[in-house]
Amino acid sequence: MLDVGGQLCHAPGLVPELRRSDPVQLLAELERRRLLIVSGKGGVGRTTVAALLGSALAARGRKVLVATTGHDDRLAWMLGGERLEDRPTSVAPNLDIQRLVPETCVEEYGVLITNSQRLSHAVFGNKVVRRLLRAIPGLDDFAILGKVWHEAVRARSYDTILFDGPASGHLRLVLGVPQALLDTVSEGPLMSEAAAMRDSLQDPEVCEAVLVALPERWPLTELGELATALRRETGMGAGTLVVNKLWPKLDAIPEPDGAPPALADMLEVVTSMARSGREQREVVGAWLDERGHLDEDLITVPWWPWGLDNPQALRDLMAVIEAGGDAADAS
């Protein structure tokens, strides 16, 4: 690989190919869902994937909300905003962003259940009540999930909502809350809500989990285990698996005789990148072989050395993904 005018160029040679879904067809499938919940271990790039998919679906004409519980404003910067608010904010045509704050979601979801903003504020806005509610396991999670579910499925405020959801370990707990309520409480307004939410989460035409991992052995193993656990424990399918930060498909360039030190150093870096890319593909390929037939779609997201802190960068990355390329194909 050489750097020519800011473009990374492929070196000759054979690198293992990966079997994956067609990105354009996958986007066409995803845009039919009302709610997409993006999850994965911390640090795998699930916020980036949520922003990437939200931007792509909005560009396809869908009215999209990308919502997160994250405490920083990275999602806003990637999609063209300055900061995340606890109310939906428009950042581009067809595209809104929002930070989901548990206290706000509890009160707003209370309005939906009681059909009274005044009553909900009097109850859920009370400081003493809030302290008591914090002691109820899973209530914040249920309120956040309930708020997102209501806007996506019942109110249909958007064509698609992408929820940059909790990390994988917590996701199973969150998605299991509706069934847990049904198992422990016999009657009340929450029961009908919990049943409706559970049924929607189990309908693959309505909701889908998008699970993200890095191209490494242990994260991929956990990804497969999470997909299986979600299906078994909550009845929700992980329709899409995302392998993020895949290094370019390269082969090392032999060092010419008498190469100056600067060129030799550069070629050493290329060789190292080529080795890493090959090893990643071998790991992903072996993992796919072990899983055999995939029930889920699989998409790979290239490692992107130019950063993803603005909407144009997301569009450039998605264009490369749709073309089936990687960072070496970027112009």
In this predicted model, what pLDDT tens digit does every residue of 87-97 receive, in sequence order?
Answer: 999 999 999 99
In this predicted model, what pLDDT tens digit does every residue of 255-270 receive, in sequence order?
Answer: 677 778 887 777 788 7
Question: Please, which pLDDT band fits residue 112 given cuts at 50, 70 and 90?
Answer: low
- Give Cβ neighbours of residue 125 (< 8 Å, ≥ 6 apart): 107
Whole-angstrom CA distances from 99 to 85, 104, 185 are: 6, 10, 30
Q: Mean pLDDT throughout 49-75?
A: 95
pTM of the model: 0.85
CATH number of the domain where residue 60 is located: 3.40.50.300
**137 vs 154 pLDDT, higher one:** 154
CA angle 29, 229, 191 (to 5 degrees): 85
pLDDT of residue 134: 55
Count of domains for the chain = 1
Which residues constitute the domain of residue 303?
A: 3-329
Burial label for 308, CB within 10 Å (0-12, 13-18, 19+), is buried
Q: In angstroms, rounded to a whole number, what is the distance separating the alpha carbons of residues 273 and 293? A: 30
Which of 141, 319, 318 has its CA nearest to residue 234? 141
- Give whichever of 11-25, 26-40, 120-134 has the largest mean pLDDT: 26-40
- Indicate the DSSP class of residue 230: H
Give rounded-to-5 percent helix, strand, coil for the chain.
Answer: 50, 15, 35
